[in-house]
Structure 1
Amino acid sequence: MATLLETDAVLKRGLSELALADPVMAKLVASGVTPQLRKRPPGFEGLAWIVVGQQVSTASATAIWSRLRQILEPPTPDVLLGLTDESLRGARLSAGKIRTLRALATEVIEGRLPLDELHNRPAEEAHALLTRVKGIGPWTADIYLLFCLGHPDAFPSGDLAVQEAARSAYGLEQRPDAKTLTALAETWRPWRGVAAKMLWAYYRVIKSREGAPI
């Protein structure tokens, strides 16, 4: 496995290798598109934060997480399981996210999800362990691997912004679905995570330029 994405030096190395492997990525790098490292703490707290942020805006996720952290102290699986559903609903968590967080906490406590060991596992294996938890889908698993563990080859192919950026960068007639984007990303191994960061950065560029959401 490539070195974890923990420093800007590693990020730059990944960008250099992507530029050598893919002319389109080389063009993005040359144009000045600059991705950010953006790493969050790993473990239960980091994964819970991502679950809270599923399918809501960044502002909403931040507000919900702030309320949750007021009652989730310390942010550990056993403390989460000790909270009542009423308390969790008071933090504005949906019923689905409450179920997911409880399932996650149970899997960690019972040893079926070794969060402390995932950074040593290949991306596919770590992804499979995460998605076995009811309520954690591919996007959540990939975002955790990329932003909490710094796994350089994690790739959220179902992310709409990444898909739209790929459509624009590669001159595709329509936004690629997850399967199509996964196939395109084979060229970027073992730096698919860096490619995702580049595409997010490029998406911010085109969104600003065009002034239109996806």
Structure 2
Amino acid sequence: MKRQPMTTDEVQGMIRRVAETCPTTAAAIERVGLPETRAQTQGIGTFLRVICGQQLSVKAAASIWARVEAHFEGDFAPMRLLDLEPEGWRKLGLSGQKTRYIHGLANALVEGSFRPEELPGMEDAEALAHITALKGFGTWSAEIYLLFAEGRSDMFPADDLAVQKGYQMLFGLDDKPTPKVLRELTARWAPHRGPMAMFLWHYYGAATLDD
């Protein structure tokens, strides 16, 4: 099965379809507009980028990724990742823990226990399980990859703090929902939960700028 990132038109079209039955979303679109997609390429480079961005702000993650990309000049062959010692990764801005995750990813690719080329042919649950078998890749990391690199439109990273806060602000909740509650609340958006996650990021960012 061939999968590819969603285009901006596809993302915005799915958000509009949700808005047809959700007046709150429709009103929010009038206030902040619609997001553009943040498509990523499939393969090791995007997995590496996901590790770089874990538990960091968008700005900090982009800064570290720029250094990593420049160092490797876009060539992320597993053996090249393994050849860089922890001190080298530290100079690029990566912690010892993230370095271990990167080396674990590279070793899994070399050994053949992780096969990203097979992901497009897997159902969502199977693909999530294959990625989360990697050390350092939890549900959030797997969902981010499958949403942005493979265009799986129903991936919803409920563990993302900005997504939680975006939902809280959009619907005027007293507290941000837990990941479990958020998944339940957004079940009505299926099968367009991925684009709606993008809208929540967009809405949260716009509200933060207004402050």
Which bin holds the TM-score, normalised by the shorter protein? Answer: 0.7 to 0.9
Kindly report which structure 2 residues correspond to 1:3-152, keeping only aligned pairs within 5 A, or say none: 5-73=5-73, 74-152=75-153
CA apart distance, 1:4: 5.2
CA deviations on 1:25-82 (whole Å, 9 max, x unpaired) are 3333344531111112221011101101112233332333233334435212222122
TM-score under structure 2 normalisation? 0.88
CA distance in 2, matches of 1:164, 1:155: 14
Q: Percent identity?
A: 34
CA distance in 2, matches of 1:41, 1:144: 9
Tell me if the contact between 2:5 and 2:40 (Cα under 8 Å) persists in the aligned partners. Answer: no
Report the residue type matching 2:41 in the other structure: P
Tell me if the contact between 1:89 and 1:95 (Cα under 8 Å) persists in the aligned partners. Answer: yes
CA distance in 1, matches of 2:31, 2:9: 19
When the two structures are aligned, how many residues end up with a matched partner?
A: 209
Tell me if the contact between 1:22 and 1:187 (Cα under 8 Å) persists in the aligned partners. Answer: no
Tell me if the contact between 2:164 and 2:177 (Cα under 8 Å) persists in the aligned partners. Answer: yes
CA deviations on 1:174-210 (whole Å, 9 max, x unpaired) are 110111101112111111101101111111221122x
Q: 1:71 to 1:31 in 2, by over 3 A?
A: closer
TM-score under structure 1 normalisation? 0.87
CA distance in 2, matches of 1:100, 1:118: 20
CA deviations on 1:102-155 (whole Å, 9 max, x unpaired) are 111122222222212323333322222111111112221121112222221111
Tell me if the contact between 1:21 and 1:188 (Cα under 8 Å) persists in the aligned partners. Answer: no
CA distance in 2, matches of 1:207, 1:88: 32
Structure 1 vs Structure 2 CA RMSD:
2.2
Report the residue type matching 1:133 in the other structure: L
CA distance in 2, matches of 1:48, 1:19: 34
Structure 1 runs (4+) greater than 4 angstroms displaced: none
Q: Could you tell which deviates more after superposition, 190-199 or 142-151?
A: 142-151
2:202 aligns with 201
Q: 1:173 to 1:104 in 2, by over 3 A?
A: same
Q: Could you tell which deviates more after superposition, 149-158 or 84-93?
A: 84-93
Q: Could you tell which deviates more after superposition, 29-38 or 135-144?
A: 29-38
